[in-house]
Structure formats: C-alpha cells, structure tokens
Amino acid sequence: MHFGEHLTIDGYNGDKKRLCDKELVLSCLNELPELLGMHKIAEPQLVVFDGNGAKDPGGVSGVVLIAESHISIHTFTERRFLTADVYSCKVGMDTTFILNYFTKAFGLSEIEHNFLLRGTRYPRQNIS
C-alpha cells in the first residue's frame, strides 16, 4: 500500500506557439483534473515569466490544487521544453493517458517521465 502516485514529465521539441500560449496552459489545468476523475479545490494560478538568466529563458507556469494533491506545468518556450507534475493520493493513475494528453496538447516530439510511489510507509491509522 502507498499514499499516492507522482508522475513527472519532461517534454522536448514542443510547438513553440503552444508552449507560450497561456490560455492553453490554463485550459489544461482546468480540464485535466476532471478527465482524471479528480476534483479542483481552487482555481488554477498562472504566471507568465520572463526568465532569470541563461538557463531559464522564461515561459508560462501554472498550478492547480486538487483534493487529491496538485498538477503543475512549466513551459520554457525558447527551449521548446516543458516540465509537468501530476501528483495524486488517488491510486491507479492512468499514466499513458496523461503522457498522450501532454504530447498532443503541446506538440511534444519526445517525453521522459518518472513514476513514483509516494508514502510507501504511510500510517494506516491516525497516530496519537
């Protein structure tokens, strides 16, 4: 038994126009929780960032809190790169669906991903 599941995504050679589209990032944060059977507990937060040096040329960052945890997206437009996290205490995450979703939404040509089990020693009951 484990507490949750965490999928990390690194997407390469994305469509530059889509990666800088703040409305697309916002749309993904609004619709993905429902598509995964999860529940938003706050409206997504979004920032367009100009960058902070040679390593980070800027892009769009957003996060949505869900009852099950969170989903975050960070784009790096000039590098045609995206990172995303889907973390949920709901067990049985459909990683194939999520990877296909991000690939299609941002026109990614390559993805690296990691799937982690979180809280493998999560207590079965409250501790007094």
- Residue 10 burial by Cβ neighbours in a 10 Å radius (0-12, 13-18, 19+): middle
User: In angstroms, how far is CA 28 from the centroid of its own chain?
Assistant: 9
Annotated catalytic residue: which of 61, 69, 72, 88?
A: 69
Annotated catalytic residue: which of 28, 61, 74, 88?
A: 74
Active site residue 74: yes
SS3 106: helix
Q: For residues 64 and 119, what is the distance between their CA atoms, to the nearest angstrom?
A: 21
Q: How many CB atoms lie within 10 A of CB 57?
A: 15
The overall longest dimension of the chain from CA atoms, in Å, is 53
Point out the residues that are catalytic.
69, 74, 89
